[in-house]
Amino acid sequence: DSIRNQTFTDFELYIIDDLSTDNSVSFIKDYISKNALECNFIVNKQNQGICKNLNYLLQMAQGKYLTFIAADDWGDTNRFESMLKILEAAPDDVSTVYSDALLVDENGESLHDSYLKHFRPDLKVPPQGDVFQDLLSFNFIPAMATVTRTQAIKSVGGFDENLKFEDFDLWLKLANKYKFLYSDDSKCYYRILPNSLIRTLGARKWEDLYTIYEKYLGKSPATDKLVLKMMNKCLAN
């Protein structure tokens, strides 16, 4: 509903079901029919994983900008409009606009923190501009609360299909080449579920984080110090 009711309406919508094992496909088909929703609904015959799905969308998408959101999250209805205004006025070296997200439980009730405060309580203000070093200390950008230039994502090679989750690796690749801007004009809502993908990865999450950090060894002495610290943290977990 938060996508269908956006105040900015000139967008292309893709919905992917990645071989779900419940009644998601029939539910989505009913929703599309009931709301006369103009979209591209893709039903995978084999599970592809989020990164491979997003690379497929990156090839298919016609739009100048790209945003993605999981089925259990949502955003304010002015999100597209407010973020696009910022990106349209920004120089070409800005790839991404992001906002904060409020944490909610499975019933949509607010929890005690925002995404930024929960995952990066050390940050006094949301970073802007060159955010690469800040990102190295751990992710603070909510994936569902971003809009990014499509060409910028293509220029850094898209999504790493060897990883189980998509966002942190992409933000680092983009931040290594482009600048980021922060917007407080709208909010997204990040649902905390016990059975969400990132919460069920276990040790694989730390293995993937190790792989992500390893990519930046040798960038600079200052970067190496922080990268090694975070790689040791991954090993400890």
Identity of the residue numbered 78: N
Helices (H) and strands (E) in the chain, counts: 10, 10
Report pLDDT digits (tens) over 71-85: 889 999 999 999 999
What is the structure's pLDDT at 203?
Answer: 80
CA distance 113 to 94: 28
Residue 121 predicted with pLDDT over 90: yes
pTM comes to 0.94
pLDDT band at 111 (very low <50, low <70, confident <90, very high): confident
CA distance 76 to 30: 24
Give the C-alpha distances (Å, rounded to integers) separating 138 from 12, 90, 183, 204, 224: 31, 26, 20, 17, 15
pLDDT band at 197 (very low <50, low <70, confident <90, very high): low
Residue 49 predicted with pLDDT over 90: yes
Residue 200 phi, psi (nearest 5): -105, 0
